[in-house]
Amino acid sequence: MLTRQNFSNKLTTWFQAKRAHLPVPGRGDSNPYAIWVAEVMLQQTQVTTVWPYYENWMEKYPSISSLAVADQDQVLKSWEGLGYYSRARNLHRGAQYVTDTFNGKLPETVPELLKIPGVGTYTAAAIASLAFGIPEPLIDGNVLRVYSRVTRLTADIGLSKTKATITSELAQLINPEQPAEFNQGLMDLGRVICTPRNPDCESCPLKKICLSARTEDVESFPVKEKRKPLPHYHIVIGLIQKGDYFLIQKRPVNGLLGGLWEFPGGKIERGEKSEAALLREIKEETGLDVDLGKKIGTINHAYTHFKITMSAWFCDWIAGEAQTNASSENKWIHFSDMNTYAFPKANLKILELISPPT
Ligand code: SF4
């Protein structure tokens, strides 16, 4: 049976001995804002990917008030390539809310933290435990894996009721004096020792109490129902040129990839040829008449809920004023200014295929 004594103490002692070798953005920082930024960036994203974004962000927006007054385009540009852009928009809105409601200082209780736009259970628990020492368990993929292996949990960890059960069990086990060390220890143990493949059980501080290590079926846990294959869409886009300028469109703020800029285009419909689909999409989205030029190339990209194959062409403007039928804003910009706007990753991959016009 797991107890605070045999679970929490072993974990906390292990973490204290190893923490210097396990650097993670924001962790060990006493600045609650730094912890907030880092924990949002770390959701669904590897530590090594987050580091340069985190350092750049803290240099650009060193305080909640500096983020609150920043321009949204600049905020999204700072997040470009990190994915899940709603996180950046929410941090920005959250900073404005904290500035207006809490005088620029993060509140110190979970119910108040949960009032901040974009702050969900995980982020509130992270700020509460890591910044303010409140014993709130933190549940991420690493924690779910470790805990389900230690307990040989046969319930599906993808279900919210399983997560709720694990949260309440960990609330009994968390070290009330050192909640930050407990939470970080559990997450780091999952990241560096109890890895998805080939966990290093010999080096693990929980080996003696781990049920799946004892029964030697570690990799049967966690149990997770297989997801359906992701839908795959074929997309065409056009880099429409008018003189020295190209048309970019801003996606509506509240949708997928909201607030990012992109080139006009869309999905190929069943039975439709790529070129015909592009001319149709450009007409529908912008109202422009264009001539199709040279094909730029094709890329593949996977988002969380779907995959795309995207092909792009240069197009020459013939006639018409650009409309905002599917966007919130249009701009004609010089090619050399592309890097001042935030684009979705798939558009960036297309831009990488182009040699800048001379
Ligand atoms: S003993 Fe092995 S399976 Fe159990 S928690 Fe440690 S690393 Fe994971």
Residue 226: inside a domain: no
108 part of the active site: no
Q: Are residues 165 and 253 in the same domain?
A: no
- The full 3-state SS of 285-308, as one line of letters, equals HHCCEEEEEEEEEEEEEECCCCEE
Residue 357: inside a domain: no
Give yes or no for residue 30 having a pLDDT over 90: no
pLDDT value at position 356? Answer: 59
Residue 227: inside a domain: no
What is the domain extent for residue 239? 232-352
Q: In the chain, which residue ranges form alpha helices assigned H by DSSP?
A: 9-18, 32-42, 47-60, 64-68, 72-79, 86-101, 110-113, 121-126, 132, 141-151, 160-173, 179-192, 211-214, 274-286, 345-352
Does residue 149's CB lie within 6 angstroms of at least one atom of ligand 1? yes
The predicted-structure confidence for 130-143, as pLDDT tens digits, reads as follows 999 999 999 999 99
Q: Are residues 92 and 182 in the same domain?
A: yes
pLDDT value at position 71? Answer: 95
Count how many Cα atoms sit within 13 Å of the Cα of residue 353 in the half-sphere of its side chain: 18
Distance 141 CA to ligand 1 centre (A): 15
Q: Are residues 201 and 252 in the same domain?
A: no
Q: Cα angle vertex 81, ends 87, 68, to 5°?
A: 40
pTM: 0.83
pLDDT value at position 144? Answer: 96
Residue 134: inside a domain: yes
Distance from CA of residue 99 to its chain's centroid? 24
- Structural domains counted in the chain: 2
Does residue 2's CB lie within 6 angstroms of at least one atom of ligand 1? no
Does residue 193's CB lie within 6 angstroms of at least one atom of ligand 1? yes
CA separation for the pair 218, 215 (Å, rounded): 8
Q: Are residues 22 and 164 in the same domain?
A: yes
Answer with the one of 179, 197, 220 that is the final residue of a domain.
220
Give yes or no for residue 262 having a pLDDT over 70: yes
The predicted-structure confidence for 270-300, as pLDDT tens digits, reads as follows 999 999 999 999 999 999 999 999 999 999 9
**Closest residue by CA, ligand 1 atom 2:** 201
Q: Count of residues for the chain?
A: 358
